[in-house]
Structure 1
Amino acid sequence: MNHVSLLGRLVRSVEVQEVGHGRFVSNNTLAVQRLGKKEEGQQQADFIPVVFWDKTAHLLKEYCGKGSLIGLNGKLASRSYLNKQEQQVFVVELVVESLHFVEPKKKVEPPIEVPF
């Protein structure tokens, strides 16, 4: 069984890229708070790589941004690739199957028009 549910905040602004054949992807990181605090009293968090595909990527772009609190359901997937130094890099990430909006969409104030 491979099912993961997370609640956390997006670490970066949302960017959606077309990868060909009508497919779209958005990669980001989710900051998930740990229970308890460090000895210094600071909150701890884990930073989980997350991948959104197609419609979910577009919904994320439309309604969320850096710092948005969201809930995610998905599955863990591992992959590897060769970096520029020809070293093999292994990645484990959450492939998102469903996205849950926890906070209302932040209103963007219209720009103030100044008469000249």
Structure 2
Amino acid sequence: MLNKIILIGRLVRDPELRYTGSGTPVCNFTLAVERNYTNRDGDRDVDFIPVVTWQKLAETCAQHLGKGRLVAVDGRLQIRKSEKENRTYINPEVVAQDVRFLDWPKDGNSQNQRGRSGASSNQQFGPDSPPDSAEDMLDDDFDVPF
């Protein structure tokens, strides 16, 4: 059996870092992911997908990601069920095993961010710039819907 999801999208808001009772870091964020087709109006529909990261990856995401950043998430689908007032709620989320940063911060602080990011973005793309192939895959007309 296989449970694998790969997503590329933009963060809807800044990630939220918290710690479990035992001190394990957990970070939550939501990705806006465009669908591959256009609707009747010629626009692409967008799905908002909740993502959760754990441990060192959670701390790295919380420290280096922010609203509007483009990322690739590799992980698995998890369905959480909860019951409240005789109703069952189904809450799907992606548990990320790897998060790749596909762009640099747009604020003037990008050199500082690259210097601090260490294993998260520098080692994946090289020390100077993101790969041309990632830039070629981007659709410049994509707007984050918020």
Report the TM-score when normalising by structure 1.
0.83
CA distance in 2, matches of 1:17, 1:86: 29
Amino acid at match of 2:106: K
Between structures 1 and 2, the one with greater helix share = 2
2:35 — aligned with what? 34
1:81 — aligned with what? 82
Q: Does residue 62 of the first structure (1) align with residue 63 of the second (2)?
A: yes
> Per-residue deviation at 1:108?
4.9
Amino acid at match of 2:55: D
Structure number with higher relative contact order (C-alpha < 8 Å, ≥ 6 residues apart) = 1
2:19 — aligned with what? 18
Q: Which protein has the larger Cα radius of gyration, Structure 1 or Structure 2?
A: 1
CA distance in 1, matches of 2:20, 2:87: 24
Q: Which runs of 5+ in 2 are unaligned?
A: 110-146
CA distance in 1, matches of 2:86, 2:57: 33
1:107 — aligned with what? 107
Between structures 1 and 2, the one with greater strand share = 1
Amino acid at match of 1:64: L
Instruction: Give the fraction of aligned pairs with identical amino acids, expressed as a percent.
Output: 35
Amino acid at match of 1:69: L
Report the secondary structure of 1:16's partner residue. strand
Report the TM-score when normalising by structure 2.
0.67
Q: Does residue 97 of the first structure (1) align with residue 97 of the second (2)?
A: yes
Q: Which runs of 5+ in 1 are unaligned?
A: 110-116
